[in-house]
Chain A
Amino acid sequence: MAANTPPAAISVRRLTKDYDGVRAVAGVGFDIAFGEIFALLGPNGAGKTSVLEILEGFRPRTGGDVAVLGVDPQEGDRSWRERIGIVLQESQPDPGLTVREAVSLYAGYYDHPRPVPETLARVGLESRAQQLATTLSGGERRRLDVALALVGDPDLLFLDEPTTGFDPSARRAAWQMIEELRGTGTTIVLTTHYLDEAERLADRIAVMVAGTIVAEGTPATLGGRDRADAVVRFRIAEPDAAAALPPRLQARADRFDNGGGVMLRTPTPLEDVEALAAWSREHQIALTDLDVRRPQLEDVYLDLIQPKKAAPA
């Protein structure tokens, strides 16, 4: 494997997919490096699932080039599938089998499976091994799905909405499990609706809207998040004093209520807060509710998936 390891785990160029002449995926391209966790975000109907199913070899593409572990998924054979694990978005447990039996069944499909007890331990289902899979809770079922995908010891793992419908504690447990997988060097492709999930887990995020990727970057830089203005909010005890703010701040300030609330949009939050503090001391004007906020991933995302108005420069 080492000799002909391709440069990228996944490489996609000008990918298109039509359904009955309707273009669902309209020229998508990206690379995913080995060991990376890559998240594909986007509203329902954006084409995420089509892209994922093409990468997984479940769906033929209309056009473009795709290489997954150096192989065209449409030509993927058994040795290719040996290296890939897939957690489907919706799947029922295998009926009539216990957790251990289900994992053993899938282990038997691989030439070099991970040991079943080790796989169960990795997803935290050891104590459920003897239980019928159909009697597991939602979160446990999802962990079993992950176990079935991991038992082949894959180099590449697809996780399609791994925590949809989870309660917060189950979600945190799932995140921890995925972070542990990162430690083993597994490349992971993730789709999710949860921004906090993408931010916490992903090395890189691509946002898909209407069949194209509208932004790609790290959670910190996506959509120019790192360059976007920060927001400083505070409240002035004497609302009329707001008019006396130094000019530097005055220019950026917006009143946001009649109780003395002021909001500044600024590329230099630290300097502005310093100036604000100096002004407050000097004029003996009390400030409350001071809050400095970088744009959240969610703000950037919601902005990205907005239908574009007149194209900005």
Chain B
Amino acid sequence: MNAVRLVAHQFRYDTRSLRRNRQALVTTLLLPILLLVLFVSAGGEKNTFVQDGHTVKAISFFTPGLIAMAIVAAAFGNLVVDLVVQREGGVLKRRRAAPVPAWALIAGRTATALSTATVTSFVLLAIAGNRYDLKVSSRELVTVAASLVLGVLVFSALSYAIAPTIRSAAAIQPIVQLVLLPLYLISGVFLPSSKNPGWLNDLAAALPLEHITNGLHRAFGPEHATFGLTATDLLVLAAWTIVGLAVAMRRFAWLPSSSTTASGAGRTLGERLIRAARPDGQT
């Protein structure tokens, strides 16, 4: 079976599973849409925001912000939950017992996150365009497409990197929320970052999400950038993707943490199975 067919196979079933997961549909689809309607309605549609020195209407501010949120919800919030629950339930171990390469499982699941974020983004754009008269042209779509791909890559990599630090399904929500809510607040998803103090801006600039929101804001703002992401944005996103992948290669475990003894044998195994470590890794 060739690589593309194997990834497509995994994608098909992961997507089907996700469609039947109500909790995932709430966080990846319903919540961004609900927030768009609420945020735009709450201050009144005439409400304006200052983003990057430009005054923009509420819908022009929140649509790009919530597309960014949709990316994070699909490729991080939902993915981390899936990885930890399936790891602890032995599902990942069972899949690794079959002759399917790790990269096919990861690529298939990442494609599922991409398709989820894409669907949510287009629903957001459809609502913004039809209900709130946001003008959407093919120019904005280029930036949206690039943000979807780059954002899903960086946050999927970070999901595989952070999943090993969460040892039980019960610990997922506190950890994920602790990361995500502050990240949304400082990265121009819910609030313009223009008025933040310098240290907060520096922090946001060092993290990946703001570089996605900024790129989208530039595309939907008055400057109507054809390609909103700057070279700096691309560099920061690439750096976080590489860091995430490097940590995931070293740390990601396919076995439940309950089967991991004090020596971390399961972890060693995760390294082995992802074929990152030396193939002769006899301890």
Contacts and interface: CB of A to CB of B under 8 A. Distances in A.
A96 B99 contact: no
B103 to A, nearest CB: 12
B261 interface: yes
B135 interface: no
B13 A60 contact: no
Nearest to A96: B17
Interface stretch (B50-58, B159-167, B264-272): B264-272
Contacts of B10: 105, 108
B17 A90 contact: no
A20 interface: yes
Contacts of A62: 283
B269 A78 contact: no
Contacts of B16: 96-97, 101
A277 to B, nearest CB: 58
A115 B47 CA distance: 61
Contacts of A61: 282
A58 B256 CA distance: 12
Interface residues of A, number: 41
B6, B13, B101, B272, most chain A CB atoms within 10 A: B13
Interface stretch (A31-39, A79-87, A236-244, A300-308): A79-87
B209 interface: no
A92 B90 CA distance: 6
Contacts of B89: 91-92
Interface of B: 1, 6, 9-10, 13, 16-21, 85-86, 89-91, 93-101, 255-256, 259, 261-263, 265, 268-269, 272, 279, 281-283
15 contacts: A19-B263, A58-B93, A74-B272, A80-B99, A82-B99, A86-B97, A88-B94, A90-B90, A91-B91, A95-B86, A96-B20, A97-B16, A104-B13, A106-B98, A145-B94
Interface of A: 19-20, 49, 53, 56, 58-62, 74-75, 78-82, 84, 86, 88, 90-97, 101, 104-106, 108-111, 132, 145, 148-149, 152
